Amino acid sequence: MTGNKPAFEKILPKFGSSLSIRLHDEQVEEKLPFWHFHPEIELVYVNKAKGKRHIGNHLSYFNNSQLILIGANLPHNGFVDRFTSNGTETVIQFKEDFLGESFFDIPEMILIKNLFIRAKMGILFGKDTKLLLGSKIKNLIKLEGIDRITQFLDILKELSRAKDYALLNVDGYAFEIKHQDNERIDIIFKLIRENFMRPITLDEVSDIVSMTVPAFCRYYKKITGKTFTQFVNEFRIVHATKLLSETHSSITDVCFESGFNNFSHFSKLFKKITGKSPLKYRNEVKQLLVQ
């Protein structure tokens, strides 16, 4: 179970503010990631930290920094596993109508309105946009009143014009789930997170959520757009990318440390999911680090 962490997260901006802005600089035990959603749009800027992206049915690993915009009611996990030196995470949460019901419907705001629509799939921004906006996003927490709003609008303007971005949840699957499903999904994901290095049977996971195996398989495919086996394997591959990026373990060791017991299967699946062989992936990461 996941303790008392709510699946539906209630966002309450501080008195006198229409934006909720938080700055994290260390991982706190009670703030461990959990599967949740909220009607607010969320902008997350992580600098000098490492972790997993889990947004809708997208899974990937990041090393050092990321800038993501998550649309309203798009389920996601917390991101940071570990901060490096002077690492920070800035989280801004806001209702789409935080400036009034029709503010973003005026012609001058069409680009930002379209940005909010794209955000329903989760947007990952590239290096140029991170460099342009990272310090401005971090600085928002120091501003108040009109200064905060005008600076935030400027950030939204730049995000709406950015060309270096990728959509994360783009396979056409509308990933929205009912409030009552979230606790069940959180239990399943916790089981995967804590046990992916060993075989997890359908009997085991079905039992933990009190369902028959056929009912669970139908339910999981409906909720996530993937089979349970597909999802577990993707989680393992994401962990493998983390090991390839951060450790000097041999690729064979990475295979077994990620929960696979067949190297050929691991290599084939890794290439299918990432588009690269494990060796090529590691070599490209090394080249990025020396640039």
pLDDT at 222: 79
Residue 134, number of CB atoms within 10 A of its CB: 17
Segment 200-204 mean pLDDT: 95
Identify residue 125 by its one-letter amino acid code. Answer: F
Question: In the structure, what pLDDT confidence band is assigned to residue 213 with cuts at 50, 70 and 90?
Answer: very high
Report pTM: 0.67
The larger pLDDT score, comparing residue 53 to residue 181, is at 53
The larger pLDDT score, comparing residue 168 to residue 262, is at 262
Sign of the C-alpha dihedral, residues 23, 178, 186, 231?
negative
How far apart are the C-alpha atoms of 42 and 20, rounded to whole Å?
A: 9
Coil, strand or helix at 162: coil
Which of 50-54, 70-74, 226-230 is predicted least confidently?
A: 50-54
Segment 225-254 mean pLDDT: 88
Whether the predicted pLDDT of 249 surpasses 70: yes
Which CATH code of 3.40.50.150, 2.30.30.180, 1.10.10.60, 3.60.20.10 fits the domain covering 196-290? 1.10.10.60
pLDDT at 2: 36
Structure-derived torsion over alpha carbons of residues 198, 200, 204, 205, reported in degrees to the nearest 10: 130
How far apart are the C-alpha atoms of 240 and 238, rounded to whole Å?
A: 5
**For the chain, what are the domain ranges?**
20-167, 196-290
Whether the predicted pLDDT of 209 surpasses 60: yes
How far apart are the C-alpha atoms of 252 and 262, rounded to whole Å?
A: 9
pLDDT at 162: 94
| DSSP state letters, 252-272 | HHHHHHTT-S-HHHHHHHHHH
Which of 80-84, 95-99, 147-151 is predicted least confidently?
A: 80-84
pLDDT at 85: 74
For residues 66 and 124, the answer to whether their CB atoms sit within 8 Å is yes
The larger pLDDT score, comparing residue 168 to residue 2, is at 168
List of E strands, 34-122: 41-55, 58-70, 80-94
pLDDT (tens digit per residue) in 149-166: 999 999 999 999 999 999
Segment 128-154 mean pLDDT: 93
Segment 214-241 mean pLDDT: 87
pLDDT at 273: 82
**Topology of domain 20-167, CATH:** Jelly Rolls (2.60.120)
pLDDT (tens digit per residue) in 21-47: 888 876 543 454 566 778 889 999 998
The two most distant CA atoms of the chain are separated, in Å, by 58
Whether the predicted pLDDT of 203 surpasses 90: yes
Segment 252-266 mean pLDDT: 94
Segment 208-237 mean pLDDT: 88
Average pLDDT, the chain: 82
pLDDT at 28: 46
Place of tokens 């915009």: 69
DSSP secondary structure code for residue 210 in this structure? T
For residues 91 and 11, the answer to whether their CB atoms sit within 8 Å is no
Q: Considering the chain, what percentage of its residues have pLDDT values greater than 90? A: 39
Q: Which of 282, 287, 251, 245 is nearest to 51 (CA)?
A: 245
Strand 123-125 and strand 41-55: pairing? unpaired
How far apart are the C-alpha atoms of 267 and 262, rounded to whole Å?
A: 9
